[in-house]
Amino acid sequence: MKDLAKHFLSEEDRRKIEAVVTESEKKTSGEIVPMIVSASDHYPMADVIGAVAFALPTAIALTYLIGLWLWIGGQNLWLFLGLFAVLFLIFHTLVKHWLGLKRLFISGREMDEEVEEAAVTRFFREGLHRTRDETGVLVFISVFEHRVWVLADRGINARVKDGQWDQPVGTIIEGIKQNRQADAICEAVKTIGTILAEHFPIKPDNTNELRNLIVEE
């Protein structure tokens, strides 16, 4: 899971996005920061739930079949417990490393909550709340969850309605589905830049206060 962000964008893609951010920020005093993370949480309970979901019925079936074959009678319980323990470890490892399978045991609501919490944490950790005019915008992309979250500082929220971020978010999500995430992020950054320029035009003494792209590897 930890390598998802690393492989999400090529070096060329990263340079392209940084260039678009730089160009977009020439029209506004706002600070746009796309951020890519592999996942917003490790979801350990999904590994446990998935392991139990597979190990329990498999252990029951094998206990029944082996019991018929060996006719061990009262020892079936110990056989079941032994099989379940072994199968649990096997399936726990399988679910943990097979991300497509792991995702089946995580609810959409849990993913939304974890991504939102991670976005807020990164917003403050990366200092987006410390810009001069309170105009930092975080475009948070969590690869494992296939979620995008746009979080703006209070200076922007006072003028820009939340619904205006829906378009750039949708652009990125659709782009990821089409395996054109770099182009989609660039399009979203341009859209955000246009929105910011309308409310926060560039100032003569404007400086770049934040990084133009963050990839957590």
Nearest to 39 by CA among 211, 180, 159, 216: 216
At 45, the pLDDT band (50, 70, 90 cuts) reads very high
Q: 21-35: per-residue pLDDT in tens?
A: 999 999 999 999 999
Cα–Cα distance between 137 and 33 in angstroms, integer? 6
Q: Helix (H, G, I), strand (E, B), or coil: what is residue 35?
A: strand
What are the DSSP calls for 92-143, one per residue? HHHHHH-HHHHGGGS-HHHHHHHHHHHHHHHHHHTTGGGSTTS-EEEEEEET
Q: 191-212: per-residue pLDDT in tens?
A: 999 999 999 999 888 888 899 9
Cα–Cα distance between 47 and 69 in angstroms, integer? 32
Q: Say if domain 4-41+107-215 classifies as CATH 1.10.1740.10.
A: no
Q: What is the mean pLDDT of the chain?
A: 93
Q: Helix (H, G, I), strand (E, B), or coil: what is residue 151?
A: strand
Domain extents for the chain? 4-41+107-215, 44-105
